[in-house]
């Protein structure tokens, strides 16, 4: 069975299809005339593309609309057909496995998460992942909407052609054939991708940064992931190593990172760093309501405990969140100076503490970022929060579907 391909506008066999579909996701319900006006494509080109999309089931009519008091036919609105297919998305990180079923709208219609221990090896975690994927498939197998494929989001360096996870320092995994393991079991098309890259694409196409030409996504999880999207393309670099902002050095005299480097951004601004700050403060004798909540067992400490304590003005929790926000702001300032993004989107598990981080982040940006003084950027919460990676699986499938569509013969006066 043929595998899925990675996302890239350059690979699109007809860029006009991508333009139309992107605008349908952003502005539907919208008429053909409305699409022509917004995209700059002429009406004949739009009509040709919509015909192909409707014949393939991706687009449906969404009712009619009379254009004020003017004469003429009413406009027929269009929208993406959510039942054009189902996608199974999965995200594996150092602490948990999440699997979801999505429609094409995109909407998550089923989701399951399981914790796993860092001590578990790749075989054990993959066995559990495959069990969850079977559960997801069982829920949609035999339905009217076709199952379009499985996409797995992973932290670290991935080989998109062979579907192999080459290196995930945070998990201690190397050269794991993720795609083959899943495809052998479920007999469905499979693709893998870097978690933060997939999340950045999800927010760029469907979410918080869809109006931005240059956007930065930060996946605030056990470790920090980042995705940079420029003109609808993820910046992946010559070997797929670009956008690993979590491994840029911010503290040369700091702690050793899981990658072996000293002072990576991960070591001071990740969820793991936040929880370590709280544990250290309590172990050093600082009083905190968290001690009672975890019944003295700090190994059970999690983000929910910290946020609860911060809402109750617990000094340890508030101080740890503020310090983590400072380090986030320092790293973001560097990225603003480098990229000058229009939008900076914060997602992943730790984005639940967004309101506590934001003042410290903004203060550091104003202090350190050259373009920060111009304020031509926006910091925003990810639309899909901790589910951005899962929604990114739809983006991968979407591009594969568009690439499979036949060439459209444009009218003689067709143009971009």
φ, ψ at 169 (rounded to 5°):
-55, -35
Same domain, 252 and 350: yes
pLDDT digits (tens, 9 = 90+) for 168-212: 988 999 999 999 999 999 999 999 999 999 999 899 888 889 888
Domain of residue 288 covers 213-382
Residue 412 lies in a domain: no
Of 63, 82, 101, the domain-final residue: 82
Q: What is the pLDDT of residue 373?
A: 63
Same domain, 273 and 333: yes
Of 61, 82, 103, the domain-final residue: 82
Same domain, 166 and 278: no
Residue 350 lies in a domain: yes
Report the domain count for the chain: 3
Strand (E) or helix (H) holding 225: strand 224-230
Instruction: Report whether the peptide linkage leading into residue 106 is cis, meaning its omega lies within 30 degrees of zero.
Output: yes
Residue 405 lies in a domain: no
Owner of token pair 């309590």: 282
Same domain, 116 and 176: yes
How far apart CA 369 and CA 338 sit, in angstroms, is 10
The two tokens of residue 29 are 């319900």
Q: What is the pLDDT of residue 412?
A: 45
Q: What is the pLDDT of residue 14?
A: 56
The fraction of the chain above a pLDDT of 70, given in percent, is 89
DSSP state string for 15-64? HHHHHHHHHHHHH-SEEHHHHHHHH---HHHHHHHHHHHHHTTSEEEEEE
Same domain, 191 and 237: no
Q: What is the pLDDT of residue 65?
A: 78
Same domain, 47 and 130: no
Same domain, 221 and 357: yes
Same domain, 270 and 371: yes
Residue 207 lies in a domain: no
How far apart CA 342 and CA 222 sit, in angstroms, is 26
What pTM did the predictor assign? 0.86
Same domain, 279 and 195: no
Name the pLDDT band for 403 (thresholds 50, 70, 90): low
Whether 6 has a pLDDT exceeding 90, the answer reads no
Same domain, 249 and 173: no
Name the pLDDT band for 369 (thresholds 50, 70, 90): very high
CATH number of the domain bearing residue 306: 3.30.420.40
To the nearest whole number, what is the mean pLDDT of the chain? Answer: 89
Residue 17 lies in a domain: yes
Owner of token pair 């602490």: 95
Residue 319 lies in a domain: yes
Task: Give every CB contact of residue 190 below 8 A, 6+ residues apart in sequence.
Answer: 3, 4, 149, 150, 151, 152, 163, 178, 179, 182, 183
Whether 401 has a pLDDT exceeding 80, the answer reads no
């Amino acid at each position: 069975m043929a595998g899925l391909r990675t996302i890239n506008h350059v690979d699109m066999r007809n860029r006009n299809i991508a333009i139309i579909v992107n605008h349908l996701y952003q502005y539907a319900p919208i008429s053909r005339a409305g699409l022509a006006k917004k995209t700059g494509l002429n009406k004949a080109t739009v009509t040709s593309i919509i015909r192909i999309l409707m014949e393939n089931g991706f687009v449906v009519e969404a009712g009619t609309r009379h254009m004020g008091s003017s004469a003429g036919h009413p406009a027929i609105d269009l929208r993406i057909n959510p039942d054009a297919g189902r996608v199974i998305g999965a995200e594996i990180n150092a602490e948990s496995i999440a699997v979801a079923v999505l429609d094409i709208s995109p909407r998550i219609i089923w989701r399951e998460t399981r914790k796993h221990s860092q001590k578990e090896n790749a075989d054990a975690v993959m066995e559990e992942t495959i069990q969850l994927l079977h559960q997801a498939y069982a829920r949609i197998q035999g339905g009217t909407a076709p199952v379009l494929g499985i996409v797995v989001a992973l932290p670290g360096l991935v080989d998109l052609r062979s579907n192999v996870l080459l290196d995930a320092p945070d998990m201690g995994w190397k050269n794991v054939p993720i795609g083959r393991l899943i495809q052998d079991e479920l007999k469905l098309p499979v693709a893998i991708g870097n978690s933060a890259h997939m999340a950045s694409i999800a927010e760029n196409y469907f979410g918080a940064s869809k109006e931005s030409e240059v956007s930065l996504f930060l996946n605030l999880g056990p470790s920090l992931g980042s995705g940079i999207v420029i003109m609808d393309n993820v910046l992946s670099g010559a070997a797929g190593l670009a956008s690993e902002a979590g491994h840029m050095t911010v503290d040369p005299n700091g702690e050793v990172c899981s990658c072996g480097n000293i002072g990576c951004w991960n070591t001071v601004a990740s969820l793991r760093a936040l929880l370590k700050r709280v544990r250290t403060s309590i172990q050093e004798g600082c009083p905190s309501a968290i001690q009672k909540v975890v019944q003295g067992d700090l190994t059970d400490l999690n983000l929910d405990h910290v946020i609860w304590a911060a809402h109750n003005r617990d000094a340890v929790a508030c101080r740890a969140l503020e310090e983590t926000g400072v380090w986030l702001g320092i790293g973001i300032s560097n990225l603003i100076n480098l990229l000058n993004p229009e939008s900076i989107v914060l997602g992943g598990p730790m984005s639940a503490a967004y309101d506590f981080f934001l003042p410290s982040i903004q203060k550091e940006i104003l202090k350190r970022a050259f373009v920060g003084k111009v304020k031509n950027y926006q910091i925003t919460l990810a639309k899909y929060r901790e589910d951005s990676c899962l929604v990114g699986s739809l983006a991968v499938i979407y591009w594969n579907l568009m690439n499979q569509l036949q060439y459209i013969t444009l009218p003689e006066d067709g143009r971009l």
